[in-house]
Chain A
Amino acid sequence: MNWEIIIQYYPKLLEGALLTLELVVISGVIGVLMAVPIALLRASKTPWVRVFPFCFIYFFRGTPLLIQIFLIYYGASQFEAVRDSVLWVVLKEPYWCAIIAFTLNTAAYSAELFRGAIQAIPKGELEAADAFGMSWLLKTRRIVIPRAFGIALPAYGNEVVLMLKSSALASTITLLDLTGMARTIQARTYTPVELFTAAGVIYLVMAAVVIGLFRLMENRFNRYQYYKPNVDQLNVDKP
């Protein structure tokens, strides 16, 4: 183990880690925003409404993320119309292609999670909302989404860790994320063991932070599950 190499290139690796985080956060946020309507359509009772979300989810969950990235980054250039359009400003940049691919991918996976959560909401709560005369929109906004959010939270935490790991694929389209940085430096210094170990440790730390954050959120949003009534306060009238 050559520690000097690790110390010398540590700032560079952290720079890469920052790009990794940036990719995960941006595509994660847009991905969730996309996943909610897709999940609502997917959980719909009308069959033809379910067709589009089903195909979308099937394609993005059934093919490797690497192919999805290549399809967007290299594939888009095949069409003259795309290269001449305004879209090309975005699609020629590997950064935006990676974000588009990650967003669509995580949207598909989280939509499936949210669908499961929507269908797991106790029926009585939805009936109660109907009994109050809530419209579909009000019921969805006040009851379905907040409830599904709480149910899906632990599984969504796993999805974010998986996304953090799959963001390493950004390095295949020339981006210098944590993996890309480690690989580039490694090609210069020929010290694969040191650099990949250092990068692996940084990934582990990031994964641990994500898991910790989700545990905090879980304690906060699902606190009714952890609520323990204080017995002494309940029995104040006891002689």
Chain B
Amino acid sequence: MIDLHGFGHLLLAGTWVTVKLALVSLSLGLVFGLLGAAAKLSEYKVLRAIATTYTTLIRGIPELLIVFAIYFGGSALVMGFASMFGYDEYIEVNPFMAGVAALSIAFGAYATEVFRMAILSIPQGQWESAQALGMTRGKTFFRIILPQVWRVALPGLGNLFQVLLKDTALVSVVGLQDIIRQATTAISSTKEPFTFYLAAACIYLILTAIATAGTLWMERACTPQLRYKG
């Protein structure tokens, strides 16, 4: 087996940070995705234009650049704001916050498309019958459409979560103590880069395998006909 020279606990601590970052960004990203899809399907031109600009911009710009822009640009913005109140010390944006912001914005842009396609796949008749029953549009969306959208969107969202999980590695570049950062710390004292980066890669493989299994389980859970055995 790989000899980690007693640095295993560092890698585990990093894994926990990576998992936290991924899950927080996922939940925020899902909100962005739903809002984006709602805006893209809205009847107001302005909302549609905003959502289209959002997805086009974010999907054409590297995630690393988004992380940098939020981490460094965010500091500049916050400091500019603080100096208006006479506070001129250096303020640094917390890497975790910058990571959550960058990853959820990126995830949201791709999720917008997944949700939009899923919402469009629900027959128009369901909206109409809900209206005939006297439901408002919001109520129809949450009670009738969303539970079905979830099922259609799950495979796509599962793929996006895999991408998100791997993109968490980018936040190590701005100093978040995630798996890669902890591996680098271990390397600076053991001088064994290959061993530790390989160990980190194996942890990512395990994490992505768990994510795949989780997605498959959820797909089964929300598709009763898959579980039905005559």
Interface contact B62-A203, CB-CB below 8 Å: yes
Interface contact A67-B73, CB-CB below 8 Å: no
Residues of A within 8 A of B73 (CB): 192-193, 196
- Asked if A168 meets B65 with Cβ closer than 8 Å, knowing A63-B166, A67-B201, A78-B192, the reply is yes
Q: Which single member of B65, B75, B197, B201 contacts A182 (CB below 8 Å)?
A: B65
Interface contact B208-A62, CB-CB below 8 Å: yes
Residues of A within 8 A of B19 (CB): none
- Asked if A140 CB lies within 8 Å of chain B CBs, one says no
Q: Which of A68-76, A116-124, A218-226 contacts B (4 or more CB under 8 A)?
A: A68-76
Q: Which of B2-10, B118-126, B130-138, B169-177 contacts A (4 or more CB under 8 A)?
A: B169-177
Bound Cα distance A193, B208 (Å): 34
A165 → B minimal CB distance (Å): 4
- Asked if B51 CB lies within 8 Å of chain A CBs, one says no
- Asked if A59 CB lies within 8 Å of chain B CBs, one says yes
- Give B contacts to A, CB under 8 Å: 56-57, 59-65, 68-69, 72-73, 75-77, 166-170, 172-173, 180, 187, 191-195, 197-198, 200-201, 204-205, 208-209
A interface size (C-beta, 8 A): 42
Q: 8 smallest A-B Cβ distances: which pairs?
A: A168-B62, A75-B194, A64-B169, A192-B72, A74-B193, A196-B69, A207-B60, A78-B194
Q: SS class of chain A's interface: helix, strand, loop or mixed?
A: helix
Which B residue sits closest to A203, measured CB to CB? B61
**Cβ contacts A114-152/B at 8 Å (1 or 0 each):** 000000000000000000000000000000000000000
- Asked if A48 CB lies within 8 Å of chain B CBs, one says no
A230 → B minimal CB distance (Å): 34
B217 → A minimal CB distance (Å): 18
Bound Cα distance A207, B208 (Å): 28
Bound Cα distance A62, B213 (Å): 13
Bound Cα distance A169, B64 (Å): 7
Residues of B within 8 A of A65 (CB): 166, 169
Residues of B within 8 A of A174 (CB): none
- Give A contacts to B, CB under 8 Å: 58-59, 62-68, 70-71, 74-79, 161, 164-169, 171-172, 179, 182-183, 186, 190-193, 196-197, 199-200, 203-204, 207-208
Interface contact B72-A165, CB-CB below 8 Å: no
Interface contact A70-B69, CB-CB below 8 Å: no
A-B pairs with beta carbons under 8 Å apart, 30 shown: A58-B205, A62-B204, A63-B208, A64-B167, A64-B180, A65-B166, A66-B172, A66-B173, A67-B180, A67-B201, A71-B193, A75-B193, A75-B194, A78-B194, A161-B60, A165-B60, A165-B62, A166-B62, A167-B62, A172-B64, A179-B68, A190-B76, A192-B69, A196-B72, A197-B69, A200-B57, A200-B65, A203-B62, A204-B57, A207-B59
Residues of A within 8 A of B166 (CB): 63-65
